[in-house]
Amino acid sequence: MPHRSGPPDSVGILVPSGMLGAGFSPETIIRGISLGADVIAVDGGSTDSGPYYLGADVAKTAEGAVRRDLRLLLAAASRARIPLVVGSCGTSGTDSGVNWVAEIVNTICVEDRFDLKVAKIFSEQHAGQLIAQLERGRIHALPPSEPLDAATLRRCAHIVAMMGHEPIEQALRAGADVVLAGRATDTAVSAAFPLMRGMPPGPTWHAAKIIECGGQCTTHPGSGGVFARIDQAGFTVEPLDPDAACTPASVAAHMLYETVNPYTMREPGGTIEVAGARYTAIDERTVRVEGSRFEPAGQYTVKLEGAAVTGYETVSFAGIRDPQILRSIDVWAEFFDKTLTERVASVLELTADSWGADLRLYGYNAILGDLEQAPATPNEVGVMLLVSAENQQTATAISKLANPLLLHLPLPTMNYLPSFAFATSPAHIDRGPAYEFVLNHVVDVDSPTRMFRLEMEMKGPSHD
Amino acid sequence: MTDAPRTLGDLALEVRSKNAGPFWMTLEAFMPDEQAYRIADALITTELISELYHVPPASLQIYRIPDLHVIKVSFPRPVVQGSLHDRDMHAGQHHVPLASTVVPSGFFGCRN
């Protein structure tokens, strides 16, 4: 093997899919390795499915699906002697999410006889330490949120900080074969290895953003993985599914996906600027990108995510098919809200601000609510009643009071009681605690790695 | 016989919406060509989005991207993701008011 001095000419990144556990074909990996992958990077999480996963500290992906993906990735990385980086382990990147993925990795290493150095990077934060930062004026709100207060931090069931590439690079420099990161920016997962190898930040960060969702930047967004090769002047990107293609439009359009601003994206250490990027087709399925920049920030900032319990919920569901009711469904819904409010006040003696209900008319205007413009009279409506209260017992009690209304409430003008169609018995289901994202704030830090804790261990048959 | 295109959705390749993180929502209209892009460009104004989505005009960011024939609009989520009154967790169905906007017949007269 030739001795290397200075950075390599280029670094190849294999992204097998947009999410660990989403699945990919074994050919995806074979193809990516044959293209000369220097690292395999895959995201393990997202906030997109809501605050429950962080709040309850539960993974969205099924263990069997994560195990299946990891088994293929560990085999490929081990055989090619290249590192595997997994970001935002366990969906939300909590400490138990990292440990959950690490346990799966450990089992596979023993079963399939891989001796690998596994790094775990923990990103969960204690409210107390953050309150100290807050008091020193080091935590700032991002738009559209308000300045943070200590009470909000204390309310959080779990808080994670989003790492940049530095903690991942630290683990790789320490010789990790597998890096299991807690919450990390989607881009840091792919950017860490090429940055370590001396690739320029502009193309590296832009490439990392383009490939973070796997096939999303291709003409077949549902297809598997993508491969990017970064060099000193730019990067190229191509799909790993031979039937898919990257076109200048499909690649450029990925900057729109789930972003507020398609031209600039803030990372902990600076801003990705792609307004000047040029996208050129190299062939029918490969795109070359040049002109991306990375502007280092004056202050390194780490973003926080936190989920707090907002209440305990019970959901009830009933169907209405009676055309007479459906012709006046708005009147019925208003009468329902009024009647339930009165009954909760008189029977349970609860004040109006101690509980909440959301009556949703699926088939009529449930999804868009007030934004719906003059919906037509529906053929049938699914009535979902979501109740929130300070504890589960109260939410259930309110739902039990609502039960006869969901079954029999007439229009105010009717002189008999209709009966509606319950879908199940009982008609209600307790949902347990419900959560809300309450942090949209960043912490000024002096060190990119200080908020994150690194643990390294050898795993496999020789170390079991 | 098919009807002439009436709405922005009829003219577009795709109109989509999605969360941009838990606190923002973003909408995109992908138009097929320069002419359709110009119609979308003229139609999608701060006033229109503010009215369709009940959001303050000052909270809107509109990006006009002629190279891709795309108009992108971002604004803070009016309802916090996952809260009691959030009925669209991924904001994946919020493109419909924009897509359903009727294109005034005068717009089709735009000449290149």
pLDDT string in tens for chain A (464-residue length): 445 567 899 999 999 999 999 999 999 999 999 999 999 999 999 898 899 999 999 999 999 999 999 999 999 999 999 999 999 999 999 999 999 999 999 999 999 999 999 999 999 999 999 999 999 999 999 999 999 999 999 999 999 999 999 999 999 999 999 999 999 999 999 999 999 999 999 999 999 999 999 999 999 988 789 999 999 999 999 999 999 999 999 999 999 999 999 999 999 999 999 999 999 999 999 999 999 999 999 999 999 999 999 999 999 999 999 999 999 999 999 999 999 999 999 999 999 999 999 999 999 999 999 999 889 999 999 999 999 999 999 999 999 999 999 999 999 999 999 999 999 999 999 999 999 999 999 999 999 999 999 999 999 998 86
- Residue A314 CA, chain-centre distance (Å), reads 25
Please answer yes or no on whether B26 and A258 come within 8 Å at the CB atom: yes
Distance CA(A133)–CA(A450), nearest Å, equals 13
CB A24 within 8 A of CB A17: yes
* pLDDT tens, position by position, B70-96: 999 999 999 989 899 999 999 999 999
- C-alpha distances in angstroms, A153 versus A128, A234, A308, A333, A432? 8, 41, 9, 37, 22
Among candidates A251, A155, A148, A149, which has minimal Cα distance to A203?
A251
pLDDT > 50? residue B102: yes
| Whole-number pLDDT of residue A221 | 86
Both tokens of residue A394? 């109260």
pLDDT on residue A222: 81
Q: Tell me, what's the pLDDT at A208?
A: 98
Q: Say whether A256 and B70 touch across the interface (CB within 8 A).
A: yes
Q: Which residues of A touch B59 (CB under 8 A)?
A: 144
Question: Would the CB atoms of B21 and A367 count as touching at under 8 Å?
Answer: no
Q: Is the Cβ of B74 closer than 8 Å to some Cβ of chain A?
A: yes
Distance CA A393, CA A86 (A): 40
Exposed, middle or buried, A255 (CB in 10 Å: 0-12/13-18/19+)? buried
Nearest CB to A259 within list B20, B53, B88: B20
pLDDT of residue A364: 98
Q: Which two tokens stand for residue B15?
A: 């109109």
User: Could you tell me which residues come within 8 angstroms of residue A90 by beta carbon, excluding any fewer than 6 positions away?
Assistant: A44, A45, A59, A96, A97, A98, A100, A101
CB atoms within 10 A of CB A131: 17
User: How much is the pTM?
Assistant: 0.95
Confidence at residue B3, expressed as pLDDT on a 0 to 100 scale: 63
Cβ–Cβ under 8 Å, residues A239 and A285: yes
3-state DSSP assignment of residue B69 = coil
Chain B residues touching residue A308 (CB < 8 angstroms):
none
List the single residue in B28, B74, B84 with the smallest CB-CB distance to A386: B84
Work out the minimum CA distance from B91 to partner chain A, whole angstroms.
Answer: 10
Rounded to an integer, what distance in angstroms lies between the CA atom of residue A112 and that of residue A259? 40
Are B63 and A262 in contact (CB < 8 Å)? yes
Mark B18-52 as b/e (b = at least 16 C-beta within 10 Å).
bbbbbbbbbbbbbbeeeebbbbbbebbebebbbeb
Give the ipTM of the model, two decimals please: 0.93
| Cβ of residue B65 closer than 8 Å to a chain A Cβ | yes
Exposure on the CB side of residue A273, measured as CA atoms within 13 A: 10
Please tell me the predicted confidence (pLDDT) of residue B112: 44
Per-residue confidence (pLDDT) for residue A7, from 0 to 100:
86
Residues in A lying within 8 Å of B, measured between beta carbons: 47-52, 142-145, 249, 252-253, 256-263, 310-311, 313, 356, 358, 360, 366-371, 373, 386, 388, 434-437, 440
Closest among A300, A293, A332, A295 to A442, alpha carbons compared: A300
Cα gap A375→A365, rounded to integer Å: 7
Return the beta strands (E) in A245-336 as ranges.
264-267, 270-273, 278-281, 287-290, 293-296, 301-320
CA distance A274 to A208: 12
Using DSSP's 3-state secondary structure scheme, residue A447 falls into: coil
Residue of A nearest to B77 (CA): A144
The two beta strands, A421-422 and A39-45, are unpaired
Amino acid B35: pLDDT: 96
Burial code of A387-404, b = ≥16 C-beta within 10 A, e = fewer?
Answer: bbbeebebbbbbbbbbbe
